[in-house]
Structures are given as structure tokens and as C-alpha cells.
Homo-oligomer: A and B are copies of this chain.
Amino acid sequence: MNALEKLYEKNKENKFVCVGLDTDINKLPSFLKSSDNPVLTFNKNIIEATKEYAAAYKINFAFYEKDGVDGIKNLSETLSFIPEDILTIADAKRGDIGNTSKMYAESVFEHFNFDSVTLNPLMGYDSLKPFLDYLDKLHFILALTSNPGSADFEKLQLKDGSFLFQKIIDKVKEWNERNNCGIVFGATNSNELAENIDRIDSLPVLLPGVGAQGGSLSDVVTLFKRKGRTGYLINVSRGIIYKCSDENFAGCAKDELMRLNKEIRNLLFT
């Protein structure tokens, strides 16, 4: 299965929640901190407990890079716990001149063997092309992000009346001729998603901003349902993995994910 097929396959099973592994040693249950490798132990337990219910796992590179060599080892080993049929997303927001992006793409897809990556499009097409040349992978390109700073540039109005993030969506549709592109679209404000869902058309969408950042799960699911489409992932990081901080942290994460899945099924089938 290629990356896109993995996404649609899980969506078909009514799984839409991507579990974000933003694993921060300072937020781990305190009893874990005495273990040999708290981050890895935490991730292994979270993945074991949630893998039957997750649509995808997103690994936030920053949380691993900050520990240098040890962090990179943890990143690699964490990937090895994730079943082959579940989409893995390298949340790395890369994008650079061509020969550099080629190296980043090699890192993400060949060294670590992720299925998918998040990309920053500011530097334009040639900065993304070395990634897009990996046809079996799925490239989630930042359009509108879920943070307040999205107002600084992403929401600037262009001469033609559209907004920068809308121009990015249009370009991604152009660049999607090989059916391996998607977008990141922040779900903090569901009106923005509603206003742009036609423009997004059939592009796969990764949606951060639900949960800790304030977006509404039910608004998102209802919107996609109304459009009669799947091919999307609602990312929840802190809301799942730090749900409880006691010895039952993994069971709590599983319960929270199952609760979200149930809420989504209720929205889809009523």
C-alpha cells in the first residue's frame, strides 16, 4: 500500500484521528522518568495501546532533534513500533533550495522510511519537487496553520483579492498531478474550513488545531461529511498522549482515542 492508500483504508474503517507523538520528557508521568529511556518507553506504550484505533501517527521532529543523537535514535526506534499499515507522518515542515531539499527528502523517506511529511511551501515549487518526486509518499503542504501568527503572512490579501493561503491551496492542486499532495489546514476556526472546503476540493487534509488549540471536532467531521468525502486526518497530540499522568497513561490515551472515534462515528452515522 502506498501512503495515500493507507490514509483512505483507515478512513474507510472510520478512523480519522492522527495521534501526534510530541513527546516531551518534562510532561511524562513522573514514575517513567527513572526508566532507562523515558521517551522511548512512553512512545512504545502509547503506540501499543492506541494502534488498533489510530488512523495515523505524526512524529514531531523538534521534540527528538533537541536531544541530538539520542533523540534521533528514539525517533527511529519509535517508528519501528508502528504497524506497517498505519500512515506515519514526519512533521518536519521542511523546504529549501533543490539540492538541500533532496537531502531532507532522503532523510525522511530513505533514512527513516516515513510514509508522509509536512512541508513549508514559502520557497516555492522547486523547493518541494525533490519531495514530490517520491510518488508513493504523501506530502502535506502548509496552507493555513492553527497558530495566531497565521495572520501575519498566510492570511495576507493578495492583489487578486484572494489570500496567500488560498493561493497555496491552488498551487498544491496544480502540483498534485501525481496524486501525492495534501495540505495542512488549521481547524482552530471552523468557519475558515467551511469557507474553503470547496477550494480544497479532493486534496487530502491534515487538520491540526482540534483539542488543546481550541478547534471543534464535530464541526470538522460534519463539514467533510456534508461534502461526502474522506481523505482527512484530525491531529490530536497533547489531548491524547498526556490525557493522564499516572501509571495508566497508555490506557487513558487509548480510552480518549476510542472516545474521539466514537464521537466521530456518531457524527458520521446519525
Tell whether A103 pairs with B167 under 8 Å between CB atoms, given A93-B95, A93-B96, A124-B147.
no
Q: Which interface residue of A67, A103, A168 has the most chain B CB atoms within 10 A?
A: A103
Distance in angstroms between the alpha carbons of A72 and B93 in the assembled complex: 19
Interface residues of A in 81-119 (CB under 8 A from B): 93-101, 103-104, 106-107, 110-112
- Residues in chain B near residue A22, CB distance under 8 A: 99-100
- Nearest Cβ in chain B — how far from A112, in angstroms? 7
Interface residues of A in 19-70 (CB under 8 A from B): 22, 24, 60, 62-63, 65-69
**Of B97, B123, B154, the contact of A123 (CB 8 Å cutoff):** B154
Q: Mark A203-215, 1 if CB is under 8 A from B, else 0.
A: 0000010000000
Distance in angstroms between the alpha carbons of A171 and B154 in the assembled complex: 13
Distance in angstroms between the alpha carbons of A171 and B151 in the assembled complex: 12
Distance in angstroms between the alpha carbons of A68 and B75 in the assembled complex: 10
Cβ B111 vs Cβ A63 within 8 A: no
**Of B66, B76, B123, the contact of A111 (CB 8 Å cutoff):** B66
- Residues in chain B near residue A158, CB distance under 8 A: 156-159
> Closest chain B residue to A212 by CB distance?
B99
Distance in angstroms between the alpha carbons of A194 and B95 in the assembled complex: 26
Cβ B157 vs Cβ A104 within 8 A: no
Cβ A127 vs Cβ B147 within 8 A: yes
Distance in angstroms between the alpha carbons of A110 and B67 in the assembled complex: 10
Distance in angstroms between the alpha carbons of A100 and B147 in the assembled complex: 11
Question: How many residues on the A side are at the interface (Cβ–Cβ under 8 A)?
Answer: 59
Cβ A63 vs Cβ B124 within 8 A: no
Tell whether A164 pairs with B156 under 8 Å between CB atoms, given A103-B63, A142-B122.
yes
Cβ A124 vs Cβ B100 within 8 A: no
Interface residue A180 (Cβ < 8 Å from any Cβ of B): no
> Closest chain B residue to A118 by CB distance?
B96
Cβ A62 vs Cβ B100 within 8 A: yes
Cβ B107 vs Cβ A125 within 8 A: no
A residues adjacent to B (C-beta < 8 A):
22, 24, 60, 62-63, 65-69, 72-73, 76, 93-101, 103-104, 106-107, 110-112, 120-128, 142, 145-154, 156-159, 161, 164, 167-168, 171, 208
Q: Can you pick out 30 interface pairs between chain A and chain B where the beta carbons lie within 8 Å of each other?
A: A60-B100, A63-B100, A63-B103, A65-B103, A65-B104, A65-B107, A66-B104, A68-B76, A68-B111, A69-B72, A72-B72, A93-B96, A93-B120, A97-B208, A120-B122, A121-B152, A122-B145, A122-B154, A123-B142, A124-B154, A125-B152, A126-B149, A127-B149, A128-B149, A153-B164, A153-B167, A156-B158, A156-B167, A157-B158, A159-B161
